Amino acid sequence: MTEWTIAVWGALGAAFIVGIFIGVLVTRMASRNVQKQLQLEADLVC
């Protein structure tokens, strides 16, 4: 039972780390797209 609990905690920890990594990637991509959109709007206004 102890080994199963350790395995479950390990899997949860790994999933948490992978989730944070994916979240950071999505946030960076979204931020980059927002910056491109703002630059495009600025170029169209001028």
CA gap 37, 24 in Å, rounded = 20
For residues 30-46, average pLDDT: 91
CA gap 26, 11 in Å, rounded = 22
pTM for this structure? 0.69
Residue length of the chain: 46
Task: Report the pLDDT value the prediction gives residue 1, as an integer from 0 to 100.
Answer: 62
Task: Report the pLDDT value the prediction gives residue 4, as an integer from 0 to 100.
Answer: 78
Task: Report the pLDDT value the prediction gives residue 3, as an integer from 0 to 100.
Answer: 79
The CA–CA distances, whole Å, from 17 to 2, 9, 20 equal 23, 12, 5
Alpha helices, H only, 1-46 = 2-45
Q: What is the pLDDT of residues 5-36, one digit of tens each?
A: 999 999 999 999 999 999 999 999 999 999 99
